[in-house]
Amino acid sequence: MPNPTQQTQKIAPKRTDIHTILLIGSGPIVIGQACEFDYSGTQAVKTLKSLGYRVVLINSNPATIMTDPDFADRTYIEPITEEIIADIIKREKVDAILPTMGGQTALNVAMSMYEKGMLEGIEFLGAKPSAIKKGEDRQAFKEAMLKIGMDLPKSRYAYTEEEALEAAKEIGFPLIIRASFTLAGGGSGVAYNIDEFKAVAKNGLETSPINEILIEESLLGWKEYEMEVIRDKFDNCIIVCSIENLDPMGVHTGDSITIAPALTLTDKEYQRMRDASFKILREIGVDTGGSNVQFAINPKNGRMTVIEMNPRVSRSSALASKATGYPIAKVATMLAVGFSLDEIKNDITGTPASFEPSIDYIVTKIPRFTFEKFPQADSTLTTSMKSIGEVMAIGGSFKESLQKALCSLETGIFGLNQICNDLEIIKKEIRRPNANRLLYIAEGFGLGMSIDEMHELCKIDKWFLHEIKEIVDSESSITSQILSDESLMRRIKSYGFSDKMIAHWLKHNDGMEISESEVYQARIGLGVECVYNEVDTCAAEFPSLTPYLYSTIGNFMSVGNSAFTRSFGEFENSLCGSPLRLASAKFSAQPQNLTQNPRIADSVNTECQDSSDMDSSNTENSSIVSEVRGLSKNCAETSLKGCRTNNSADSRETHHETNFSKVMIIGGGPNRIGQGIEFDYCCVHSSFALNDLGIKSIMYNCNPETVSTDYDTSDVLYFEPIDFERVRAVIEREKPDGIIVHFGGQTPLKLANSLTKINAKIIGTSAKVIDTAEDREKFASFVNTLGLKQPQNGIAYEKEQAYSVANKIGFPVLVRPSYVLGGRAMRIVYDDDELKQYMDEVIAVSDSSPVLIDKFLEYAIELDVDCISDGESVYIGGIMEHIEEAGIHSGDSASSLPTINIRESMLKEIEQSTAKIALKLGVVGLMNVQYAIYNNELYLIEVNPRASRTVPFVSKATGLPLAKIATRVMWNHSVKKAESKDSILEEALRFYDKYNMVKEVGCVDMESLNSDSKTNKIFTHKPLKHFSVKESVFPFNKLPGADLLLGPEMKSTGEVMGMGKSFAFAFDKSQSACKNPLPKKGKIFISLRNSDKKHAAGLAKTLQEIGFEIVATLGTHKILSEAGIEAKAVLKVSEGRPHINDMIANHEIDMVINTSSNKAKPDARLIREAVLRANIPYFTTISGAKSAAIAMQANSNDNENTRVSTKALQDYLNE
């Protein structure tokens, strides 16, 4: 094969006829559109800048890397609306627009503007409007596919409910309904009967922005595949990656487990699909970028049909990029500005981008769901996406990759855990697509079900079922023999079994009480350890220039390498299905114990256990356990001093030790409610800060959507599950000079104690301090030493104790488990009955941790404070006032920076209290504090000695990158180094204070700290000349049955930011950005709970004065009438017809204000469901409604001095 670097290249330099390019971002994180578009957008901005273009960016999401003021030339954190984009184009003199990096949001707004004639003279890059129209409009797509001879499902289009019913009669049930121009299958569904069809069709027509749905024959049970395709202007086409859905058709690809490369395609099928993909791109007209094409194959007869295509970078593009190492977004951006594929260099290998990636490993993606946050939502998986995030794992075989992915999910499982032993329930759940179906399949095999029987229920390809069955069958071979049998241990580990799972099966099969750490040391003693291979896009054919690593067990390449080599040689470096399937089968073709595995649904401890706490009750195995513990003790004492070396690493590794200092950053794992992109933002900033220090950064994460797992974000990337076993292995391999666990949310924090026990060097706030802050008893004792007020509280370790504590404090109380993030299982309870229900449902949420009970401070004002400490001085990064009152989770509440209702003396008290907490606790780095102001007194609610989800927002609002500053402080503190006469904190602040924002505001009151230090300074930012409002975005429209009522448990998936010269204008922008735009005129419905009715008159009067008509339920109407306010009375649903839901359905209501008590109220819930269906603005708290009224009042004065204006972030920060 010729050396690709010696090939002749065409010369087609970048375009010079365009200068300023507008990139449209995707906005907030929502189901179907997550941080993969920050990853692709960040790559695009960096690429365009490196090519010399002037880049203008609009995105409303402050938690993104792409919206950092240092990335684009001009950054607009503004609502992604047509009016604002038009204003930006005019003021920035934009030449071209790149709409293919911002998901469905960017495509839809760009196309809408184009069709309205708002983009005259502006060129589309990446995909022409005609291509977008053909790819996104289902009618146009169908016509294009038929033109080139592609097979499509039998289908009809409908634009009314009547047309939809006619199509249903013609095609026959079951039916798939798909809405045009929607995100993540929005408005789509499966209908098995006419009643279901009417509901789904109506929803689809309302969801589609062009009121178009496609009704097609059911392909349920067919196999689904995706092709990631790139095409340049010279018609060079490549397949970056083939992806196979483990779940058959009927489950949205974003909710399906997916495998790369496709494993069950024959060579002929693969080539047919590859050729079809190229024909489709040519016909659609995508000639300067990437696309995703989806196919279905009938396993019974091989019929292949085209499902759809995305003429843009997609969710699958991010997965394919991470799976192969091929930077699709970067390449697509360069193609969009005139380059051809052979002119673009692959950064990983230095070879041309025209070479199709080849991979010699298996990648598995598993989606992450959070149905536990929405217990009333339907958890059945359908054609409309419901997952919040995803994980990716890389292994040498499907078995290994699958089990590594399961360990990455952070749902309490560490492999194919047991969840049920009732065969009837198991069969029912195997038939129903759901988040745990894989675990039920394993249970079914464990109880004796055959592959044929299983396939009949779930329609998953038999090859995958065979692989899963082999994993289950091998569980019975995990006996005490494994601790001394190298061959058995290697085989079990090559199947992807975690050490924790091996410990579980040793207890189950042999009664051995053995810890994860002891299993780890036993297998290391046997020489069974992982090797680290590189993701290099070329199956090791060329040297890799970037260390992007994954682990695998054993020298498996000696078994399957010949199959891989043949497939690449025969098919011009294009990966085909059958040879890889053969190779994968070879990996598992080893002798096995196929004895029936008596799986049981017993409880398994999911926390790391210290070996010193374990006792062996099995005398037969006691000598083995003792020997293992001796090895474990000896190795633990010298864990990071060379007990384990990587002598078994294969010859493909090119990563070597250097003389540079190294710091390892542990990421946050999969996105989920409570822990999302905000934490990845902090990890990325930490890596950038280490680069500023000249320190080698090692990133460790398992989320394929993120910027942190981009190959060029850090010096070394490990794509691995974030569990003790794998993290420990990397630490022992790299021997970093420091480990950062504070930026990835709760995920890495949970590992802090275990890592400390193996002498891993955690820099910044210590594990002991983290434990003090997380442990309620220890923390309460700490707070008492500072003399700070806390709500009266108590701790209960059992149910009866909880009743006693709650009654002593007095209802209402706030109850929650310890060591959780995102308010998981947090609830306000008002009496003993509610408390009993809570204790029965939630007591096991946080294993072996107590339930915390606090007095609930109703109507208190809550605040968030982010700060940084170096142990001597403190920087107050931002004090944010929550818009919603106490009782709403801080992650769900809107917040304002600066505050709007807090007096100056209280702000000074907050600064002093925060500094005292940080210094007394011993925080080095970031800390978040939550306060409540109740009856004009300050109460401490919570302290988190880590990065919080508000760090990106505060960083954007003030221009000071908190995570970078904290990283610099943490490192310099660890080496006791300050670069100047200033303190470590002062030096870090000065280094990053680009906008001259920092000011000293005094010193800490040292009397209460008993400190001899004289340098305990407090710093903060200068007064801001603008307001920033953070607003939350919720997934209610994607989860049928979910209630939009807010409470102490977090429900939001993402956030937006509004900026303006006043709070009113900033709040108005925040609502527009989160698709809850405030109306300019019309009718507003008001229905308030009894405790809120005192606010009814003032609120209604303000709205009426600016021209709105008021509609109210009878109780609220009575209050308004008595206050002399004219309003229209309307019935609740339970009171007769016509009622308020009729008015909402008839689009007679323009905004809803509906507050409800904690207890279930059917009428209120029905109103909220109607609001979701009608997609109209709503507020469920009185404080949120008041803020809306303030904003609407400000906007009613329509003149130049008061109108909401568009302004770049750089301009705000330079004020």
Summarised one tens digit per residue, pLDDT across range 852-870 is 898 999 889 999 999 999 9
Summarised one tens digit per residue, pLDDT across range 972-1025 is 999 986 555 679 999 999 999 999 999 999 998 866 555 555 579 999 999 999
Binding residues for Mg(2+): 294, 308, 310, 930, 942, 944
What is the average pLDDT value for the chain, to the nearest integer? 87
Q: In terms of Cα–Cα distance, which of 869, 825, 830, 872 is closest to 851?
A: 825
Query: Has residue 1162 got a pLDDT over 70?
Result: yes
Where does residue 58 rank: exposed (0-12), middle (13-18), buried (19+ CB within 10 A)? buried
pLDDT tier at 157, thresholds 50, 70, 90 = confident
Summarised one tens digit per residue, pLDDT across range 614-672 is 444 444 555 555 555 555 444 444 444 333 333 333 433 434 444 679 999 999 999 99
Residue 717 CA to residue 713 CA, distance in Å, equals: 8
Residue 712 CA to residue 212 CA, distance in Å, equals: 42
Which phi and psi angles does 1162 have, rounded to 5°?
-55, -45
Given the DSSP bridges, would you call strands 237-245 and 213-217 parallel, antiparallel or unpaired?
unpaired
Summarised one tens digit per residue, pLDDT across range 461-506 is 999 999 999 999 999 999 999 999 999 999 999 999 999 999 999 9
Residue 394 CA to residue 717 CA, distance in Å, equals: 13
Q: In terms of Cα–Cα distance, which of 153, 445, 514 is closest to 306?
A: 153
DSSP secondary structure string, 34-88?
A: -THHHHHHHHHHHHHHHTT-EEEEE-S-TT-STTSTTTSSEEE-S---HHHHHHH
Q: Are 729 and 530 in contact (CB under 8 A)?
A: yes
Binding residues: 138, 178, 185, 217, 219, 224, 250-252, 294, 308, 310, 816, 855, 857, 862, 887-890, 930, 942, 944
Residue 1117 CA to residue 1115 CA, distance in Å, equals: 5
Binding residues for ATP: 138, 178, 185, 217, 219, 224, 250-252, 294, 308, 816, 855, 857, 862, 887-890, 930, 942
Where does residue 789 rank: exposed (0-12), middle (13-18), buried (19+ CB within 10 A)? middle
C-beta atoms surrounding 23 within 10 Å: 26
b (16+ CB within 10 A) / e for 486-521: eebbbbbbbbbbbbbbbbbbbbbbbebbbbbbbbbb
Mean pLDDT of the region 874-889: 94
Q: Residue 660: what pLDDT?
A: 75
Summarised one tens digit per residue, pLDDT across range 1072-1082 is 999 999 999 99
CA–chain centroid gap for 650, Å, is: 34
Locate 999 and state its tokens. 């000011």
C-beta atoms surrounding 615 within 10 Å: 7
Locate 543 and state its tokens. 């040297």
List, in order of start, the domains of the chain with CATH numbers.
154-218 (3.30.1490.20), 365-531+590-641 (1.10.1030.10), 662-762 (3.40.50.20), 773-791+857-1024 (3.30.470.20), 792-832 (no CATH), 1031-1196 (3.40.50.1380)
For the entire predicted model, the pTM comes to 0.89
Binding residues for Mn(2+): 294, 308, 310, 930, 942, 944
Please, which residues bridge with residue 853 across strands? 794, 815
Q: Residue 260: what pLDDT?
A: 96
Compute the 3-state secondary structure of the chain and give helix, strand, coil in percent, each to the nearest 5: 40, 20, 40
| Rg from Cα positions in the chain | 30
Where does residue 3 rank: exposed (0-12), middle (13-18), buried (19+ CB within 10 A)? exposed
Residue 582 CA to residue 589 CA, distance in Å, equals: 10
